[in-house]
């Protein structure tokens, strides 16, 4: 491979190129499958905003109840889109990367076999360096 120093090996599937935004259903989201609850402590400003959003959100069905003097519990039934953004894989092959020290040099292998071979060669070189 040609690196004289430390090599960093990585298998990557970058979000920008290997994933897309998906639905709760595609992601087998537990909230979609089983329902969920959101608890807001309405003494906190952020939770006040969350509660107001939920109360005005007409896209999800929920029930609202109080828990103590300051907490509101919103319960959402199964089969609804949750508040998270899901990502699902595009099915593209991973990138098999090798980077030199401080990322100065990099190499993208064509597949796992060449990457594994390079990794083994690097391990041998490291072992010889350590053991003399």
CA-nearest of 35, 51, 34 to 43 is 51
| 124/61: higher pLDDT | 61
pLDDT band at 106 (very low <50, low <70, confident <90, very high): confident
- What is the per-residue pLDDT for 4? 55
pLDDT band at 101 (very low <50, low <70, confident <90, very high): low
pLDDT tens for 5-31 read 678 889 999 999 999 999 999 999 999
Is pLDDT at 100 greater than 80 in this prediction?
A: no
CA-nearest of 117, 113, 119 to 98 is 119
* Mean pLDDT of all residues belonging to the chain: 90
| Cβ 47 vs Cβ 54: under 8 Å | no
């Amino acid at each position: 491979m040609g690196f004289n120093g430390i090599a960093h090996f990585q298998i990557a599937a970058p979000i920008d190129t290997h994933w897309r935004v998906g639905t709760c259903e595609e992601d087998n989201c537990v909230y979609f499958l089983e329902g969920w609850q959101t608890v807001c402590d309405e003494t906190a400003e952020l939770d006040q905003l969350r509660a107001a959003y939920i109360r005005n959100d007409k896209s999800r069905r929920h029930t609202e109840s109080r828990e103590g003097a300051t907490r509101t519990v919103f319960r959402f039934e199964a089969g609804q889109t949750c508040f998270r953004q899901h990502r699902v894989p595009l099915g593209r092959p991973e990138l098999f990367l090798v980077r030199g020290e401080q990322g100065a040099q990099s190499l993208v292998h064509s597949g796992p076999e060449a990457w594994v071979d390079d990794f083994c060669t690097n391990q041998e070189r490291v072992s010889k360096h350590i053991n003399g």
